[in-house]
Copies of this chain bind each other. A is one copy, B any other.
């Protein structure tokens, strides 16, 4: 095992969080992952808070940056889709966003690039702020809903939703029952497919208001 370093500590923390959720990330579990003893970690980071800040920034680093000279709509769409995939890969990152208020360098670079595209596309500053807040709200919120779904993907939907629908029927929630039986339980259903509908609607609205 090579020398420890801040970089290796953060990478290790990311791996532990991905494997077992943020709840499983403890200084001890991280030390084990790294093949060292708990206190060794503290020579490379100041404390657990700094680790959390660090891995959030690592997550932002994974999101594709829009390129400054492409079609704005296509670039924004690409980065939104990328962000959604990244947040699905690291669902614990969403819960962290709420508590971290000191953005890292990758986070800043990311936001600067997105704003750059919008300004370059002709959005005035105020409108760029609107667009930026709207787009990120949508992406974060969608990722949050994906993360809180009781099922993982399109596979095991039936076995999870079927009993829920029965319960909803028994307790008198007709619209939930209808949604389950007429939509969610139909073959081919995948919540992830909802993403493009909303993104298109938002991009259309922004185009119209530009």
Contact = CB atoms under 8 A, between A and B. Distances in A.
Interface of A: 21, 23, 91-92, 94-95, 97-102, 105, 108-109, 111-113, 115-116, 119, 125-126, 128-130, 133-134, 136-142, 144-145, 147-150, 168, 171, 173-176, 178-179, 182-184, 191, 194, 197-198, 201-202, 204-206, 209
Contact of A134 (B23, B113, B138, B168): B138
A95 B144 CA distance: 9
Contact of A138 (B23, B101, B141): B141
A98 B136 CA distance: 17
A164 to B, nearest CB: 9
A197 B131 CA distance: 9
> Binding site of A, secondary structure by majority: helix, strand, loop or mixed?
helix
A145 B136 contact: yes
Q: How many copies does the complex hold?
A: 2
Contact of A145 (B115, B137, B145, B191): B137
A169 B149 CA distance: 41
7 contacts: A21-B99, A111-B173, A112-B173, A115-B179, A134-B194, A141-B142, A141-B144
